[in-house]
Structure 1
Amino acid sequence: MQRRTLLACSFAMSPLAARSSQAQSYPSRPVRLLVGFPPGGGVDLTARPLAQRLSERLGQQLVVENRGGAGGNIAMDAVAKSPADGYTLLVGNVGMLALNPALYRDLPFDTVTSFAPIAQIVAVPLAVAVPADLPAHSLAEFVALAKSRPGQLNMGSGGNGGIPHLAFELLKRRTGIDVQHVPYRGSAPALQDLIGGRVQLMVDGYNLMRGAAEAGRIRVIATTGQQRLPALPDVPTVDESVAPDFEAVGWQGILAPAGTPEAILAQLEAAIEAVLREGDLPRVLLDQGQLPTFLPRAPFADLVRRDRDQWTRVVRDAGVTLD
């Protein structure tokens, strides 16, 4: 009887033992890091230096894989349906995780229950930029120009319903300007049309705009956080310029499929914390106009839930649709 009991216990514990063994050997092969937007966009520009440094720390390559489309939903769906073994991860942002549930009907996943948050990696105040040849050297001058040409100026964004779009809609309401929103299939093509002067305004992450700004092809005239960006100390905030108490800040973080073993999640969380606190990655992110912001699993999960509730109310109150 004792032998049978021990044997039964052995079989009952075997799945747990298998998960423990898997976690101890993790990672034993390359890890995919899915980005829900085309190469060259703000999320992609965060993912690549992070992947490089995590590869060095974990001893296995993290391969960035761009799965653009549907506001990041294609990448999220792929990760949600992947094996929960730590070998497929997601770079998620506030638009994907907090806004999309309010914008898309019948999503095949739930942004809270289908994923296991691992860590927040950055907070992302946005930059407000215009073409270099536009006669507006400050946000106040742009507002004046827009009011003198109602309905004639355009703002390009990476798509309907994202944080850049909602930040722009909030700016319109606070300043009373009539500027048309032009959504693109990703931020990178919108930036190209800003450089070419086909749109006259863009609101997005500074990491996307940095190269064009430093080359003098566009002009950053404001940022959307409450504090000035360390990378742009001479550029005032919207709050300082034209709209007191204005704030619109995004974030990005790393997630795994729900059900991923706790030991693997903890290992990834520790590795992310280490690369965000050590070496050159914090400076790389600061130079891109992002704020390295580590939040561990539980607080990051709370942030996802809280922002999903908050931005759902904003989307519905503003009547934002994807049509």
Structure 2
Amino acid sequence: MHPTRRAALALPLLAAPGLALAQERFPSRPIRLVVGFPPGGGSDLVARPIAQRMGELLGQPVAVENRGGANGNLGLDAVAKAPADGYVFGHVNNAVIGVNPLLYRNLPFDPVRELEALAAVTIGGLFLMVPAALPANTLAEFVALARAQPGRLNFASAGPGSITHLAFELFRRQAGVELEVVHYRGSAPALQDMLGGRAQLMIDGINLAKAQVDSGRVKALAFLNAERHPLMPQVPTAREQGLERLVIPGWQGFVVRAGTPAPVAEALERAVRAALEDPGVQETFRNQAILTRFAGRAEFARMIREETERWRPIVTEMGLTLD
């Protein structure tokens, strides 16, 4: 069946019958999905396949707009200031929506009052990685190397206050090591500098880690979650290697402007779910080693609240604040 015909058949299931938005059926024009990180990073790899399939299902393009900077805050600010009509929604991960409100003293928006949960789409965790040429093949060997030359090794961060930065701060404290932190505007440029030899440590998700490990360009020394990742079972957890409290779950999802009419939010939620469950999208994510798990608006809202409360004592203990 022609894609346009499929979209036309799918649209009545995803749209909100009887909804009057300027006497128009939703959606009647293109939609923007704002991603608060540069193209090519883990957030972008999740957002783009879903956006493309949503466009096909809804009968209107869903264009990804990358607004990198301030650890995702620039992107969320754009969503918070958009009209509450569903034509702009935003990508988030657990750090951007769950941790940033604890870190930033002067956020230009109120994430609790101006944003609403739409859907979660992936689950995962973080890997601690080093360049293939670095003489360390286990977490213990890397810790010994870092302790032998304090302050001389560099950690490539995806941005100040990012989940990778917070993970590093937890690792640094628990392992008793000192590295220089170099912040980048996302995972992709951080990876390029580590591959170029300007950094010796990086922490990121499996969709970035597995491809680099499989290519032989980096070594994954530890998975920072409670159990080994099913797609990289050869990598031991940090907990297995003696860092009991270095457990950092992860997820990605979408939010919409608070006050968006319920039928519109429901239509977007259904479109996200249908796109995520599409066999082509599932194959794309499998090839990128991304594990999917859908959670609707109510469950995702609970996940966000729980993430904020989980990090609150940790951020307080670290004494980390950002402007």
On whether the aligned pair clears a TM of 0.5, the verdict is yes
Report if aligned partners of 2:159, 2:184 keep a CA contact under 8 Å in 1: yes
Q: 1:213–1:197: structure 2 CA closer, same or farther, 3 Å change rule? A: same
8 A Cα contact 1:139 1:242, kept in partner: no
1:109-147: CA deviations, max 9, x gaps? 211221121111112301111111001122222122222
Checking the alignment, whether the CA contact within 8 Å between 1:127 and 1:205 is kept in structure 2 is yes
Superposed CA offset, 1:4-29 (max 9, x none): xxxxxxxxxxxxx9982339822222
TM-score (norm 1): 0.88
One-letter amino acid matched to 2:127: A
Unpaired runs of 5+ residues, structure 1, are 1-16
1:287: how far off?
A: 4.1
Q: Tell me the alpha carbon deviations over residues 79-114 of structure 1, each in whole angstroms, 9 at most, x when there is no partner.
A: 111111111010011222122212222322211221
Counterpart CA distance in 1 for 2:245 and 2:178 is: 21
> Any conservation in 1 of the 2:105–2:321 contact (CA below 8 Å)?
no
2:120 — aligned with what?
Answer: 120
1:172-187 matches, cutoff 5 A: 172-187=172-187
Shift of 1:309: 2.8
The alignment partner of 2:112 has SS state of coil
- TM-score, scaled to structure 2: 0.88
| Matching of residue 92 in structure 1 with residue 77 in structure 2 | no
Separation in structure 2 between the aligned mates of residue 109 and residue 313 of structure 1, nearest angstrom: 23
Counterpart for residue 195 of structure 1: 195
Distance (whole Å) between structure 2 residues aligned to residue 30 and residue 266 of structure 1: 17
Cα deviation per residue 1:23-45 (whole Å; 9 max; x = unaligned)? 98222222100001111121111
Provide the rounded CA distance (Å) in 1 between the counterparts of 2:293 and 2:172. 29
User: 1:130 touches 1:202 (CA, 8 Å); kept in 2?
Assistant: yes
Q: How many angstroms apart in 2 are the aligned matches of 1:310 and 1:279?
A: 34
SS at match of 1:293: strand
Contact persistence 2:210–2:232 (CA under 8 A): no
Q: Does residue 208 of structure 1 match 2:198?
A: no
Aligned to 1:309: 309
State how far apart, in whole Å, the 1-side matches of 2:113 and 2:170 are. Answer: 30
Could you report, residue by residue, the CA deviation over 1:179-218 in whole angstroms, capped at 9, with x for unpaired residues?
2222122221111111012111000122234443332222
Structure 2 match to 1:134: 134
Instruction: After TM superposition, list the pairs within 5 Å mapping 1:28-43 onto structure 2.
Output: 28-43=28-43
Query: Does the 8 Å contact 2:154/2:199 carry over to 1?
Result: yes
Structure 2, unmatched stretches of 5+, are 1-15
SS in 2 for 1:32: strand
Rounded Cα–Cα distance in structure 1 between residues aligned with 2:217 and 2:265: 42
CA offsets 1:54-88 (integer angstroms, 9 cap, x no match): 22222222100001111111111111111111110
> 1: CA distance between counterparts of 2:24 and 2:310?
39
Question: Does the residue aligned with 2:304 lie in a helix, a strand or coil?
Answer: helix
State the alpha-carbon separation in 1 of the partners of residues 17 and 266 from structure 2: 17
The SS at the match of 2:122 is strand
State the match for 1:81 in structure 2.
81
Answer yes or no: is the 8 Å Cα contact 2:228–2:237 preserved in 1.
yes
Decide whether the 8 Å contact of 1:125 with 1:250 is kept in 2.
Answer: yes
Alignment of 1:134-283 (within 5 A): 134-283=134-283
Cα offset, 1:178, TM superposition: 2.1
Query: Residue in 2 aligned with 1:105?
Result: 105
> RMSD of aligned C-alpha atoms?
2.2
In 2, are the aligned partners of 1:230 and 1:289 still within 8 Å (CA)?
A: no
- SS state at 1:244 partner: coil
What SS does the corresponding residue of 1:241 show, helix, strand or coil?
coil
| Counterpart contact for 1:130–1:219, Cα < 8 Å | yes
Query: Contact 1:38–1:68 (CA<8 Å) still a contact in 2?
Result: yes
Distance (Å, rounded) in 1 between the aligned partners of 2:248 and 2:217? 25
1:245 CA displacement: 4.8
Contact 1:227-1:237 at 8 Å conserved across structures: yes
Alpha-carbon shift at residue 298 of structure 1 (Å): 0.8
Cα distance in 2 for partners of 1:50, 1:233 equals 27
- CA offset digits 1:253-277 (Å, max 9, x no partner): 1111111111111122122223333
Distance (Å, rounded) in 2 between the aligned partners of 1:118 and 1:24:
22
What CA distance in whole angstroms lies between the structure 2 residues aligned with 1:282 and 1:311?
A: 31
CA contact (8 A) 1:156 1:201 kept: yes
More divergent stretch after superposition (73-82 vs 224-233): 224-233
Looking at structure 2, the residues matched to 253 and 227 of structure 1 have their Cα atoms a distance apart, in angstroms, of: 22
CA distance in 1, matches of 2:99, 2:245: 22
Matched-pair identity in %: 48
- 2:43 is the alignment partner of 1:48: no
